[in-house]
A and B are shown apart, each in its own frame.
Chain A
């Protein structure tokens, strides 16, 4: 099921939180919705979930506006999590299954199936409050899948999970993508997003500032950079033509080159001047792009 967000706007009092936002989420793809705090990610997600109504614009699912049937095809994992602490694991999963219109028996069977798949079957009769935080997180992920949704909307799915459980959830998300589910993922963990997402939508101040697949974005943001590691004085590089700026990050030096500078020539000049233990053309990471883009808009 394809989600299409077209020129959506949302204003609270006089503050425009989402402004002419447009992007698409295709089935079988994981779209990462990125942006700094207050960029409008949560409001966008809430509008997709029909918790909030857009003031203008349209959100469609395979061309249809949201209805009860579509609602029941969406699985949502909110950012901050907590379930009914005093209730048994089975009862809570069953309840959310019922809310997604699953018949009583099917809700029960699906709960057992998922608990087993996530190796949580032993907790079936445990009150949620007795489980560790990580297990509760996994349980919430499981609640989001109880009705086998076509669309998955997840806000920080890896937050506060240990590496083993992160891997488990990551594998499951990729598996769901391969099954053709439509997945929208909002996260601050850019490295995680890089590993998981096929497409990125970077928003700031409610507007899309950048969107596309990673190689395409990287290409657009390729700023002709080099990274070197040396024990010698970086001041020796100052005389080399084509180097615009030298920046130290941790143990490495990042060299920003002139737009039309020839990397090969500059590399040779560097080797002639100083001893280097590392020298490579630098491809900007999602983090760099994110930082530069956001910095540029502020």
Chain B
């Protein structure tokens, strides 16, 4: 018994002092946390999320841009979006040459209007003459006004053609110049993009957004929402509905999500209630595989340098395996306790708000620890048995990788648990030993599993661990003294199940 404790202590201290343990305990969670939080930091970093200016351009005076801006502000009144997206109206081209062009167009229009007036006036006069009694003077007057009408009509048609052409030209030029101006603003990074609103397209719900960077297309959603509201408003207005009512109807919804957990109910929080259990499972698995990995490589090394023979000349197989498993299990618990203490520390410093993690009760923490231990004992027994069969780390490398992949497999299936934590399929899968620890740890906060599931899963795990220990013992007893050749899968099965 004394030697068992000596081995336990040695294994614990040996790995506790190792660089790999420090890496797994402090660096892995940091990397993991970084992977989770860097995108959030990125979103919140003011240097990255500098003020984004989105322009709005319209070629009429309906004030759509103003409406969009107003709606955007209203819709995002409580959102940080408002502080880093600003909508501005792009002024159309009012340069001297453009003004001159507008004057010419206006003059052309005046001329057309004047000719049109004259034409109408002659037409009125002819109508008046036509009502006079028939006679030579009437005929003469009609003929004279007819010539005049023809003359002026021709002049008016020509003026109209002239005006239409000029108007179109001016309009196109104005559009082009204005878009060019907006594009210059884009290129000089004075704004991130602009909305191009055309009255005809707008009424049909078509709006263009121009930008340089692909990421800006992903960030335009809040603006789209504001445009949508304005389009709907306009359509409703066209249907003759009251403006104040429209605004009331378009008030955004407040959707409260309440999750029932056993007898209690609480507001659903995606990060905490959905991702929280996965994070816990991942951490427990990091711990299980740190310890089992140490066990595996430790046995392999001791075998390759024949220290195992030296150990077996002093202690029994049982003492050696038990001491190793127990020592590294303690290391795993110690690692979990370090993380737990760090969580408490972060909570006391108000960096982490643990009050929202309602599923992290002492009862649940106890269950997590229990399933962690069961999982560790199960995987550790398998790792120690398999590890003892190989003489060189390179030989065992592929098997080790394969076993790790196999053990990560339950985490891949976690989505199934997240979706339906108490479905028949998930319940059945929870009773398959390699999956049991992961599935139960996930099910506890997500779906409050039925009490019998705890008894069945714990019972199955205990039986499986005992079996795994017996098989690992056989493998270890034979494997630890075999050198040189790599065992085949068939040989492993033969040794484990005592087949001849």
Contact = CB atoms under 8 A, between A and B. Distances in A.
A100 B315 CA distance: 8
Interface residues of B, number: 20
Q: Which of A51, A71, A99 has the most CB of B within 10 A?
A: A99
A84 B311 CA distance: 12
A211 interface: no
A168 to B, nearest CB: 21
A96 B310 contact: yes
A99 B311 contact: yes
Contacts of B2: 101
Interface stretch (B26-34, B173-181, B233-241, B301-309): B301-309
B10 interface: yes
Contact of B306 (A50, A72, A82): A82
A78 B306 CA distance: 7
B148 to A, nearest CB: 115
Contacts of B312: 49, 51
A118 interface: no
B313 interface: yes
Contacts, number: 54
Chain A facing B: main interface SS: loop
Given A51-B481, A78-B306, A80-B305, A86 B18 contact: yes
Given A95-B10, A99-B3, A99-B6, A76 B310 contact: yes
B245 interface: no
Interface string A251-295: 000000000000000000000000000000000000000000000
Given A52-B481, A82-B306, A101-B2, A96 B14 contact: no
B14 A98 contact: no
A96 B312 CA distance: 11
A170 B500 CA distance: 45
A98 B313 contact: no
B313 A82 contact: no
A84 B309 contact: no
Interface in A28-78: 46, 49-52, 71-72, 74, 76, 78
B259 interface: no
A191 to B, nearest CB: 25
Contacts of B310: 76, 78, 96, 143
Interface string B1-27: 011001100100010001000000000
A113 interface: no
Nearest to B312: A51
Given A46-B481, A52-B481, A74-B313, A79 B306 contact: yes
B14 A81 contact: no
B306 to A, nearest CB: 5
Nearest to A80: B306
Contacts of B14: 84, 87
A174 interface: no
A49 B313 contact: yes
Interface string A85-110: 11100000001101111000000000
Contacts of A298: none
Contacts of B313: 49-51, 71, 74, 76
A74 B481 CA distance: 19
B306 A76 contact: no
Interface of B: 2-3, 6-7, 10, 14, 18, 304-307, 309-315, 481, 500
12 contacts: A46-B309, A51-B313, A76-B310, A82-B305, A82-B306, A86-B18, A87-B14, A96-B310, A98-B3, A99-B3, A99-B311, A99-B314
